[in-house]
Every structure is written in C-alpha cells, then in structure tokens.
Amino acid sequence: MTGSSEYHGVIGVDRIHGKIDEDLLLCSICHNVLWNPVACKSCENAFCTLCIHTSLKEKNNYCPFNCYFEERKCPPCISILLSKLQIDCCYKLNGCTTIVSYERLDEHEEECNYQPLECEKCHKQMLKQDFEQHQQECELIDLTCNECHVIYKRKDLNQHTEIECLQNQFEQQQQMIEKKMNENEDIVKNMEKETQHLVQSQMTTMDTKLELVDEILRMEHETQQNEFEQKFQTQQDLFDEKQKLMEKKLNENDEKYNMMLENIEEEIQQIRLLKNDSNANENGTNAKLCKVDLDKLSKSVRYAGNPRF
C-alpha cells in the first residue's frame, strides 16, 4: 500500500478558500503556502523548513535575503493566520470534495479515500476506496488452502482439486513420518553410543577392582608364607639345640663308661695279681677274696645300664 504525502509543503494558492495575505503566508523560496515554517532571526522572514534547509546548503548558510541565517521559531501571528486557512484536499482531482483546516490537512490526506494506491501483486493503480474490494478479487493474490496449507494464486483456485489437496496432505504426512523416523533413529544411535560408553567405563572400573583384589591376595599369601617360614625356622632352631644337648649328654655318658671300664679293668688286674699271690701262698683264703671282688664288679656293670655298652 503506497500512500502519498508528497503534496505536503506544496499548497498552491489555488487550493485556498477565501482571502490570503500572500506577503505573510507564502514562502519566498517555493511561493506556496508555508509548510512547517521557521524564520530567519535577522530579517524575520518565514520559510518552509524544507525550503530554507535546501537553500542554506547552496548559499553557505546565508538566507535568501543575504543575512547570515540563524533559525528562530515562526512568529505567532503567522501561525495564527495559517491555522485559519481552509484548504482543498490534495486529492480533489481524484474526486475528494473535502475542505480541511491547515492543522488537519496532514491527517486527512494520509487517510483520504481518494489517494491513489497500487496493488502489490498486479501493480494496478486504484483509489484507496477501491483497494479492499480489489484484494478480494485480484487474480494474483496468494491464497492458502485450509486443508493442505499449500499457497496458490487466486486464478489457480480451480486447479486445486480435492484429489490434489488430498495428495498434498498425504505427502505432508509422509514427510512428517520420515522426519519422525529420522529423529527416532538419531535418538537410538545416541542411546547406543551412551550405553557403549557406560559399559566401557564399568569394565574399566571392574578391571581396576580385580587388579586390587589380586594385589591384596598376593600380599596376604606373601605374609602367610613369611610367617610359616619364620615358625619353621624357630622349630628347626629348637630341634637343632635339642640335638646338640643330646649329643653332649651322650658324649658325657661315653666318657663315664670309658672311665668305669678303665676302673673295672684295673680291678680285674688287681684280682689277677692277688690270685697269683694266693697260688704261691694260701689257696683257700684267696679264693674267698676273689669271690667278693667279682660280686662288686657285677654290681658296677648293672649300675651303668648303658645300652651302648
């Protein structure tokens, strides 16, 4: 929709109803009725804002009356005179008969039903009052099907048959199902990945635990073995000590018997000597003595009781 406000600021004297003070109310640059007026501080002449700004750029900031321009507000008397003006709508040639005050001119012309508009689709020119109707009829306007939501031009309305509409709906459903299936596939893939990751992580944890248990068992076994070896060594030492003691005792016994043997042999020797003497002197008495010494010897042997003997 293209409105037109380019008339603003160009209010020709022919559009004014009644008398107008041209010296005061016409812009000395565009010679139309002042629009958005401002004044020169030096010469006090009023100009349309747009006109004076364009002129200042061309004239190095000098006003059309050759004074250095400094802007001031438009004098109140000019504003009052302007507000009393009755003006033809700028679309009078299109049929608008409205006569409007200077202050409401802008507002009316923006809404005026006689302003020309152009259809965006077919580019046909028409008045604003006909625009709505045209939108209902224009063959190039896009329509959206309520069922399948496909967009088509109004002129193609007859081609959008019920079969085509159903086919569109079916294709859309299929696309939606495909999209859902793809989404589900992605979800499953992600879940698989996550599961794999989880299993891997748990296996690693288990491995670590098993290694720990192995280590503990190995250490326990080592400790037990050490304890056993220590006990065995103690027993061995004890046994060795006992054996030594036994050997010592045996040696002592051996010595005792050897000494006893020596004694016995000595006594036997003495008895023999005595026997020989009695043979030479008195046989009966010496025989008695000999019997007594042999008894003594027999007693000594019994006392020893040594198995090694």
Written as one letter, the residue type at 110 is E
Q: How is residue 161 annotated by DSSP? A: -
Regarding 253 and contact with Zn ion (CB under 5 A), the answer is no
Q: Which stretch binds Zn ion (CB under 5 A): 87-95, 198-206, 214-222, 241-249?
A: 87-95
- Of residues 165 and 304, the one with the C-beta less far from Zn ion: 165
Closest CA to 34 of 58, 61, 57, 16: 16
Selected from 63, 87, 105, 271, the binder of Zn ion by CB under 5 A is: 63
Selected from 33, 51, 85, 87, the binder of Zn ion by CB under 5 A is: 51
Regarding 68 and contact with Zn ion (CB under 5 A), the answer is no
| Cβ–Cβ under 8 Å, residues 160 and 140 | no
260-299: contacts with Zn ion (CB under 5 A)? none
Give the start-end residues of each E strand in 133-211: 142-144, 151-153
Regarding 121 and contact with Zn ion (CB under 5 A), the answer is yes
| Cβ–Cβ under 8 Å, residues 85 and 104 | no
- Of residues 108 and 275, the one with the C-beta less far from Zn ion: 108
- Of residues 20 and 138, the one with the C-beta less far from Zn ion: 138
Residues in binding contact with Zn ion, number by CB under 5 A: 24
- Of residues 62 and 257, the one with the C-beta less far from Zn ion: 62
Regarding 89 and contact with Zn ion (CB under 5 A), the answer is yes
Report d(CA 305, CA 300) in Å as an integer: 9
Selected from 33, 46, 48, 271, the binder of Zn ion by CB under 5 A is: 48
Report d(CA 164, CA 253) in Å as an integer: 132
List all residues 6 or more positions away from 110 whose beta carbon is below 8 Å from its beta carbon: 3, 5
Q: Hey, is 181 helix, strand or coil? A: helix
Question: Measured on CA atoms in the order 75, 81, 83, 89, is the torsion positive or negative?
Answer: negative
Contact characters 150-179, Zn ion, x per CB under 5 A: ---------------x--------------
Regarding 126 and contact with Zn ion (CB under 5 A), the answer is no
Regarding 145 and contact with Zn ion (CB under 5 A), the answer is yes
CA torsion angle 155 160 161 166 (round to 10):
-170
Residues forming contacts to Zn ion in the complex (CB under 5 A) are 27, 29-30, 40, 42-43, 48, 51, 63, 65, 67, 89, 91, 96, 98, 112, 119, 121-122, 138, 145, 147-148, 165
